[in-house]
């Protein structure tokens, strides 16, 4: 059985942050499988498939949001890995920081097939 390894998953997560902060939605989406799903935040309806995911990231990047890692990525003994960061963004004219942890699940080819973003309304703080 081929399975993505921890180093590959962590490299993808670091590239995710860099690509997002470079404002390059296409580069972010290149990390995703065609059939991927994005649940951001967990508990909200999922964004499904490449076209919807591209629109999601284009919108997120348009806000001017920046991601700041607060700890190294974590791997697992399976197909999933996580990153913990703050989103720095202006909402309704106010600078805020949002505490977030993302869990990404990868397919055999090293593409992200599932993204889950953990943050709640009480994770949004004045910057």
Interface contacts to its own copies, rule CB under 8 A: 6-7, 10, 41-44, 70-72, 74-82, 84, 99-101, 103, 116, 118-123
Q: What's the CA gap between 112 and 104, in Å, rounded?
A: 6
Closest approach of its own copies to the CB of residue 98, in Å = 9
Residue 54 tokens, joined? 């591209």
Q: Closer CB to its own copies, residue 44 or residue 95?
A: 44
Q: Strand 94-106 vs strand 124-126: parallel, antiparallel, or unpaired?
A: antiparallel
Decide whether 5 or 34 has the Cβ nearer to its own copies: 5
Least distance in angstroms from the C-beta of 49 to its own copies: 21
21 or 101: CB nearest its own copies: 101
| Helix, strand, or coil (residue 39) | strand
Q: What does the alpha-carbon distance between residue 82 and residue 102 come to, in Å, rounded to a whole number?
A: 5
40 has catalytic annotation? yes
Smallest distance from its own copies to CB 35, Å: 21
* 3-state DSSP assignment of residue 4: coil
Q: What's the chain's length in residues?
A: 127
* Smallest separation (angstroms) from its own copies to the CB of 63: 19
Nearer to its own copies, 22 or 71 (CB): 71
- CB-CB contact of 112 with 33 (8 Å): yes
Has 16 been annotated as catalytic?
yes
Q: Which residue has the tokens 């994005």?
A: 38
* Annotated catalytic residue, options 24, 40, 107, 123: 40
Please identify every residue annotated as catalytic.
16, 40
């Amino acid at each position: 059985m081929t399975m993505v390894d921890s180093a590959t998953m962590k490299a993808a997560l670091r590239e995710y942050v860099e690509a997002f902060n470079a404002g390059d939605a296409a580069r972010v989406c290149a990390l995703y499988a065609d059939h991927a799903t994005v649940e951001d935040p967990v508990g909200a309806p999922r964004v499904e498939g490449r076209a919807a995911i591209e629109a999601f990231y284009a919108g997120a990047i348009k806000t001017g949001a920046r991601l700041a890692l607060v700890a190294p990525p974590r791997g697992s003994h399976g197909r999933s890995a996580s990153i913990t960061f703050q989103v720095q963004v202006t909402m309704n004219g106010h600078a805020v920081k949002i505490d977030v942890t993302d869990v990404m699940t990868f397919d055999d080819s090293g593409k992200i097939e599932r993204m889950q973003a953990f943050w709640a309304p009480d994770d949004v703080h004045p910057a």
